[in-house]
Amino acid sequence: MSKITFLGAGSTVFAKNVLGDCLQTPALQGFEIALFDIDHERLQDSANMLNNIKKTSGSTSIIKAYTDRKEALRGAKYVVNAIQVGGYDPCTITDFEIPKKYGLRQTIADTVGIGGIFRNLRTIPVMLDFAADIREVCPDALFLNYTNPMAVLTNVMNTYGGVRTVGLCHSVQVCVPHLFEHLDIDQTGVKAKIAGINHMAWLLEVTKDGVDLYPEIKKRAAEKQKEKHKDMVRYEMMLKFGHYITESSEHNAEYHPYFIKRSYPELVDRFNIPLDEYPRRCIDQISRWKQMREDLVNDANLTHERSHEYASYIFEAIETDVPFKIGGNVMNTGLITNLPREACVEVPCLVDRNGVTPTYVGDLPPQLAALNRTNINTQLLTIEAAITGKREHIYHAAMLDPHTSAELSMDDIVAMCDELIEAHGKWLPEYK
**199 among the known binding-site residues?**
yes
- Residue 47 and residue 42: Cα distance in Å, rounded? 9
Q: Which residues are catalytic?
A: 170
Using H for helix, E for strand and C for coil, what is the string for the chain?
Answer: CCEEEEECCCCHHHHHHHHHHHHHCHHHCCCEEEEECCCHHHHHHHHHHHHHHHHHHCCCCEEEEECCHHHHHCCCCEEEECCCCCHHHHHHHHHHHHHHHCCCCCCCCCCCHHHHHHHHHHHHHHHHHHHHHHHHHCCCCEEEECCCCHHHHHHHHHHCCCCCEEECCCHHHHHHHHHHHHCCCCCCCEEEEEEEECCEEEEEEEEECCEECHHHHHHHHHHHCCCCCCCHHHHHHHHHHCCCECCCHHHHCCCCCCCCCCCCCHHHHHCCCCCCHHHHHHHHHHHHHHHHHHHHHCCCCCCCCCCCCCHHHHHHHHHHCCCEEEEEEEECCCCECCCCCCCEEEEEEEEECCEEEECCCECCCHHHHHHHHHHHHHHHHHHHHHHHCCHHHHHHHHHHCHHHHHHCCHHHHHHHHHHHHHHHHHHCCCCC
- Region of residue 366 (left: phi > 0; alpha: psi -120 to 50; beta: else): alpha
The answer to whether 256 is a known ligand-binding residue is no
What is d(CA 260, CA 266) in angstroms, rounded to the nearest whole number? Answer: 9
| 169 labeled part of a ligand binding site | yes
Candidates 211, 277, 275, 256; CA nearest to 374 is 256
* Binding positions for Mn(2+): 169, 199
* Binding positions for substrate: 148
* Binding positions: 148, 169, 199
